[in-house]
C-alpha cells in the first residue's frame, strides 16, 4: 500500500496496527493525523513501573493530579531535573 501524499510505501508495522491507514508515518505527523501523546510512569510496586499514556489534551486538563508523592517520588525528582 502506498501513501496518498508522498507515494512512498507505507511501513508494514504501521499497516499491521492501522490496516486502513492511507498515510506513511512521516506524512501522518506532518498532517497532524497523529495526535501528540504524553506519558507518566506509574509505580505500583518497587520492582518496576508501567507507562501510562494519554492524549496531550487530557494531560494538560489533569496535570494537577500528577504530583509528587513523597520525598523519593519519581515525579518530584523528574520535575526538578527538567526545571533546573
pLDDT tens series, the chain, 84 aa: 899 999 999 999 999 988 999 999 899 888 887 777 788 777 777 777 788 888 888 888 888 877 766 555 555 444 444 444
Name the E strands within 4-57: 37-45, 48-55
Spatial distance between the Cα atoms of 42 and 36, rounded to a whole number of angstroms? 20
pLDDT score recorded for residue 72: 57
Distances (CA, A) of 36 to 2, 27, 30, 53: 24, 14, 12, 10
0.95 surpassed by pTM? no
pLDDT score recorded for residue 71: 57
pLDDT score recorded for residue 12: 94
Amino acid at each position: 500500500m502506498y501513501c496518498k501524499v508522498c507515494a512512498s510505501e507505507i511501513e508494514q508495522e504501521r499497516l499491521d496496527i492501522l490496516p486502513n491507514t492511507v498515510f506513511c508515518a512521516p506524512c501522518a505527523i506532518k498532517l497532524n493525523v497523529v495526535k501528540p501523546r504524553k506519558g507518566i510512569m506509574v509505580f505500583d510496586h518497587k520492582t518496576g513501573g508501567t507507562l501510562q499514556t494519554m492524549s496531550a489534551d487530557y494531560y494538560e486538563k489533569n496535570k494537577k493530579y500528577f504530583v509528587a508523592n513523597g520525598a523519593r517520588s519519581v515525579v518530584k525528582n523528574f520535575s526538578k531535573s527538567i526545571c533546573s
